[in-house]
Amino acid sequence: MKRMKCDLLSFTIEELRHEAEALHWPSFRGEQIFAWLQKGTTSFDEMTNLSVAQRQLLKENYHINRLKLIDKQVSAQDGTTKYLFQLEDDQLIESVLMLYRHGASVCLSTQVGCAMGCSFCASGQEGLVRNLTTAEMLNQALYITADQPNRVSHLVLMGSGEPLQNLPNVVKLMKIANHSKGLHISMRHMTLSTCGLIPEIRQLEALQLPFNLAISLHAPNDDIRKRLMPVATRYSVQELTETCEAYAKQTGRRITYEYALIKGVNDSPEHMVMLGDLLSGKLCHVNLIPVNPVSGSAYRSRDAQHTQQLKIILERKKIPVTIRREMGSDIDAACGQLKRRTLAKEGKDT
């Protein structure tokens, strides 16, 4: 049986040093390969500080992951850019570039599809297809970095998928993206968003990595959360927030609670009072998010004035709170929407 070629883009710099030594090369050759890969190189022929023989040996034994751009939408309002990529097995994933005063942020997908089934989310409507490899996640950031003039300074794992279901590859991605010879993004500028898988949050706590943890909470109690998120049948709101409080105390990192405001479901003043009581005294921050309309869903948000009133209620409860700035509203910026529209055009919509 023919040996499957290893994907070099999934290797850390330490692993590439070991690969070089296994080929009877000096370990610094691994560092040179790492540097080329982090520049977005997709061809071994471009690695001109390696000999022709060395490049040929790499071609015979290794592979460099590639993404194919299928569609790209740029917001005329704020420069938010949505990318639709095709993977080597023809699956589709989305990524988003967002421009802020503090720098350029890339929102990555971590899975093809999602198993969480949240009722307000487009990316979960197809179910989970598979995890992305470290290379496929990293390649999203590398492609976008090369495609625009701003240095990417922040990574956000909030695209399609539940990152904690792909934890080993996600942790490896963060370590590669953090390296000074790579994208050199501070872990304090990386955010992992999860529906709240408690065993995996405890694993993260043990790793002691200084990135930001965001919890998709979206409800102040179990009854409402179960209506919105199937994961709530496994873990109660109380258990989740207690686990996050332990994580915050151990790591010293503030937890962000994401709260999508859905008209008539979870957005009354009473809901905000309950949320404030739930989070009182905890090292946290609440991000209020007017829900994005999703095809096939009746969920909508209220006007900005109502959202501002809810923010004031939390502030009176001494809860740090912001309202997420709406970005890319003139394009398919919400997770899964561009992919669903593309598949629908092809007659493949799930």
118, 121, 284, 335: the active-site residue: 335
β-partners of residue 284 are 255
Coil, strand, or helix at residue 293? coil
Counting every residue, how long is the chain?
Answer: 350
Of 19, 94, 162, 205, which residue is the catalytic one? 94
| Integer Cα distance of 235 and 153 in angstroms | 34
Each as own residue / partner, the long-range contacts of residues 54-63 (CB below 8 Å, 24 or more positions apart, any chain) are 54/25, 54/29, 57/23, 58/8, 58/33, 61/3, 61/5, 61/6, 62/5, 62/6, 62/7, 62/8, 63/5, 63/6, 63/7, 63/8
Token couple for 41 = 């190189």
Q: Which of helix, strand or coil describes residue 256?
A: strand
Amino acid identity of 263? K
Q: Classify residue 268 by its DSSP letter.
A: S
Whether 335 is catalytic is: yes
Complete DSSP assignment for 155-209 = EEE-SSS-GGGGHHHHHHHHHHHHSTTTT---GGGEEEEES--HHHHHHHHHHT-
Contact 100, 107 (CB under 8 A): no
CA–CA gap between residue 9 and residue 38 (Å, rounded): 8
Catalytic residues: 94, 335
